[in-house]
Amino acid sequence: MKIVTIIGARPQFIKAAVISREFAQYGDIEEIIVHTGQHYDSNMSDIFFEEMSIAMPKYHLGIGGYSQGSMTGKMIEKLEEVLTTEDPDYILVYGDTNSTLAGAIAATKLHIPIIHIEAGLRSFNMNMPEEVNRILTDRVSSLLFCPTQEAYKNLEAEGLEHWKSKAFVSGDVMQDGAFFYGNKAKPLDLDMRSDDFALCTVHRAENTNSEARLREIFAALTLLSKKCQIVLPLHPRTKAQLADFCIDIPEAVKVIEPVGYLHMIWLIKNCSFVITDSGGLQKEAFFFSKYCITLRDETEWVELVSEGVNILTGASRAKILDTYEQFRAKPPITFDQSLYGGGLASQKIVQTIIKDFETI
């Protein structure tokens, strides 16, 4: 069996590492990795292949830094060439990026079955490009692996029974990765005034493209930095937008360059709580039993909100500060890890793919 795996953004590298390691347990599976280049900063792409101990991509398309439409179009064109050359039995895509959608479109046109890992997630906000990407990818995929029961229900509500697709609740491969790499975390020397710190990331377009939202978030961080140490790995897009909008980063905030996954795991394990607009980091906070302030108006991970370990604040300064006080008052607890499959997702996914291939 030959599978072409298409990845292009940081979280996908981590997910691919987990599945690739499971594929390697079977000698009759050939995996071809294609890196679209959607994340082209070396600290946010190449380093992950080294840290995750997975094979470097056979193809690197180098497509990054374009507008949404231009990037997706260029990817479709290049991926069609790769898929025509490789003629795989399946293509495999992760999540909700432009790389994901481009891979799905290119494969659909060539009648190649599509495997979508992290299927069924919905924010119900069609203004988010990620929401459009995930909905369209789900609709044309052959094998849909849902990280949660809620994600599976979303597919059912959209008419899954009428699709030529098979859907499964597999658990979350990000949890597999967090458990596997948790003991391999690399410490950082941050030279801070306190070991008690909050980990913050801001990169979503809904925040970085809005001067009002970005200004409000950083006003909240200014006030929070008087109460606790904040560590901010600064995304290149966010850095550029802050400069364009003339928004100052509080001096008390510890700004660092984007870090590799093993450094990020160390930051999550050692922080007091997380402030983020990242979908992946919301879950990683949960995996390591950390409360999360989410700088979004909605989330795909609704079960975390139901559990009370994740609170949506949007870009509201008042809500961010109020949530901080709520979490500070709560005792540390160990979160129920069975919510996302308990670390067995990769096994379930690969075994299901093998069974499906045997029926072709």
Strand partners, 114: 91
Is residue 260 a contact partner of residue 186, using CB atoms and an 8 Å limit?
A: yes
In 3D space, the residue among 163, 25, 126, 141 whose CA is nearest the CA of residue 93 turns out to be: 141
- Which residues partner with 232 through β-bridges? 255
Which helix (H) or strand (E) covers residue 4, if one does? Answer: strand 2-7
- 173: helix, coil or strand? helix
Q: Which residues are paired to 107 by β-bridges?
A: none
Q: Which of 116, 203, 235, 263 is catalytic?
A: 203
The three-state secondary structure class of 247 is coil
Is 39 labeled as catalytic in the residue annotation?
A: no
Q: What is the DSSP string of 259-298?
A: --HHHHHHHHHHSSEEEE--HHHHHHHHHTT--EEE-SS-
Degrees to nearest 5, angle at CA 79 with 78 and 85 = 100
Q: Which of 15, 16, 7 is nearest to 34 (CA)?
A: 7
Chain position carrying tokens 């809500």: 319
CA distance 181 to 262: 7
**337/334 Cα distance (integer angstroms):** 9
Active site residues: 203
